Amino acid sequence: MKVSFPLAPEPEHEASEKGRLLFAGPVDFVKGVVAMNGLPPADRPEVCFAGRSNVGKSSLINALTGRNGLARASNTPGRTQEINYFALGEHSYMVDLPGYGFAKAPVAVVAKWQALLKNYLAGRPTLRRAFALIDSRHGVKEVDHEIMKLLDRSAVPFQVVLTKTDKISSQALTQVIAQVEEALQKHPAAYPELVATSSDKGHGIATLRAIIAGLS
């Protein structure tokens, strides 16, 4: 039976306020991790953001937190070479994973990132949900299926977040949502709601904040 993946609705006032307060509080960069033994203690809930290089991960994290310089945005694919931890007060962690796919880095370095990513997803008991970012201008590509398969195998629930939706028409967005919905039929770990966002315009940010606040 085909699973439906509707856009997440606007949050109720209480959920929206919970999300706003979570991100209005202290948000601090904790550390960049290059090996599993460098991870912070698993003492609070966390969510992670995964996406191919240049999908807009850093810009989305900056938009969520309202802090432009928190996550470094770059036009150079593959700049994020570590698992970067951010603390939302003492409440939870937000984790920026290395961009996957094309990267201006040696093959051995990329292989090291991929191994770290697999180990992290398989072995982090406090991970509540992964957010798989998809560029709305391009839809799901084969490299996205690879990370989704990894999430499936790791039994990590993931939710697709469409980025850069201000860059396309409403008709094109409708088409890409249909393409994403079809692609997600192959992935049992996919959460049955999509979030459409624009970091520049602020679209979907309150919704995503509320979802994150509700997971912890």
Residue 180 lies in a domain: yes
Mean pLDDT of 108-136: 89
Residue 108 lies in a domain: yes
* pLDDT at residue 70, rounded to an integer: 82
d(CA 96, CA 149): 19
As beta bridge partners, residue 94 has 47, 86
Mean pLDDT of 131-160: 94
Residue 129 lies in a domain: yes
Residue 1 lies in a domain: no
* pLDDT at residue 76, rounded to an integer: 45
Query: CA angle, corner 68, sides to 66 and 74, nearest 5?
Result: 135
Higher per-residue confidence, 72 vs 39: 39
Domain that holds residue 153: 13-214
pLDDT over threshold 80, residue 173? yes
Contact 181, 4 (CB under 8 A): yes
Q: How confident is the model at residue 204 (pLDDT cuts 50, 70, 90)?
A: very high
d(CA 133, CA 51): 5
Domain count, the chain: 1
Tally the C-alpha atoms within 13 A of residue 161's C-alpha that lie toward its C-beta. Answer: 32
Residue 40 lies in a domain: yes
pTM of the model: 0.92
Beta strand pairing call for 92-96 and 158-163: unpaired
Residue 6 lies in a domain: no
Residue 5 lies in a domain: no
Which CATH number fits the domain that encloses residue 149? 3.40.50.300
Nearest to 197 by CA among 209, 184, 182: 209
pLDDT over threshold 90, residue 95? yes
Which secondary structure element, helix H or strand E, spans residue 96, and what is its range? strand 92-96
Residue 2 lies in a domain: no
